[in-house]
Amino acid sequence: MNPSEKEILYQLIRDHEEVMGVSRTTMVSLQSYRRALQKLKNSDNNAFKESVSELNEVIKNTEPKIIPLTHLIEEFETELQIYFKIPFEQIRDHALKILNQKLNRYQGCTQGVIEHGSQMIEENDFIIVQSPSLAIRGALKRAHSEMKKKFKVLLLDHYFIRIKQLVKEFAQEGLELIVVPDNNLSHFLKTATKLFISAVSITPDRKVITTVGTANAVGLCHLNRIPVYLLVNSLKFAHRIISEQHIYQVESQRSCDHLTYRHATYSHDQVDLDLIDHVITEKGEIDIHSMFP
């Protein structure tokens, strides 16, 4: 795969992550990998190993790194190594079995976050939602539909394509929802009781990589003593610091009204972990200070 092809794949994964979130992107990527293997016919073992290794390297070096997918692919690589000396059909069957196990593991962890996250919701809460991740959506729906809790949601709109389905789902279930531009959050700080956020990853230098706009919401809530809840699958805990997470950056020269200036954008925000009040994983709430001693 040449550099141009890699960049196209990186852009495709970023687009998926922006629209669907990290959890769904991770699951869709594993499902796509599985379908590709199912369609693969007779292959030389060495050629198969080379192709798998090349694809794995591309997946592990996306911009930004999708940490849960990286962890699962690394495990897949390690577990598949012992089978490369057997016939191709058997290698493929083992590869499919391992991918199924990884997919089921991720889905199980996500379900755990949903269950523990829903327990954080209390009667008459007014919850700010910055990013409608799979876990946050699931927690809100479970608290409303299964646990019969009464609460309101303030959904910050910075990318309507991402929240469109959530708005539709909540309307169907009768959950009270207000959608506002993310730069209008200040008008609701006196009545909000919690902020729910998600993450792409959490790094050992105590940084949370998350969707654009989250840093502003966290800062406002922290200053106004509104507790911030991070609902996150522990597979999103990274092994490397923030500078090695490949946050995508674009710089360009722009011109307007006879002025030329340098313009920069980043694909994601970063938030200090110490600004988070509660971290909820598939195992429940964990001690923030012991996460990365």
pLDDT digits (tens, 9 = 90+) for 221-269: 999 999 999 999 999 999 889 988 888 888 888 888 888 988 888 888 9
Residue 68: both structure tokens together: 């849960």
25, two tokens? 């992107």
pLDDT at 248: 80
Q: Can you give the pLDDT at residue 10? A: 65
d(CA 61, CA 178): 37
Looking at domain 119-290, what is its CATH homologous superfamily? Answer: Translation initiation factor eif-2b; domain 2 (3.40.50.10470)
| Structural domain boundaries in the chain | 3-112, 119-290
64: nearest Cα among 202, 195, 156: 202
Q: What are the structure tokens assigned to 8, written together?
A: 């196209």
Give the ranges where the chain is alpha helix by DSSP (H): 3-20, 22-39, 45-60, 67-80, 88-118, 134-141, 160-173, 214-223
Inter-residue contact 238 to 65 (CB < 8 Å): yes
Contact 195, 218 (CB under 8 A): yes
pLDDT of residue 221: 97
CA torsion 208-214-216-220 (nearest 10°) is -90
The model carries a pTM of 0.88
- pLDDT value for 54: 87
As a whole number of angstroms, the distance between CA 45 and CA 60 comes to 22
Rounded to whole angstroms, the Cα distance separating 43 from 262 reads 50
Give me the pLDDT at residue 269, please: 92
How would you label 193-214 residue by residue, b for 16+ Cβ within 10 Å and e otherwise? Answer: ebbbbbbbbbbeebbbbbbbbb
List the one residue out of 136, 137, 107 whose CA is nearest residue 232.
136
| Residues in the chain with pLDDT values less than 70 | 1, 5-6, 8-11, 14-20, 293
Read off φ and ψ for residue 214, nearest 5 degrees. -65, -40
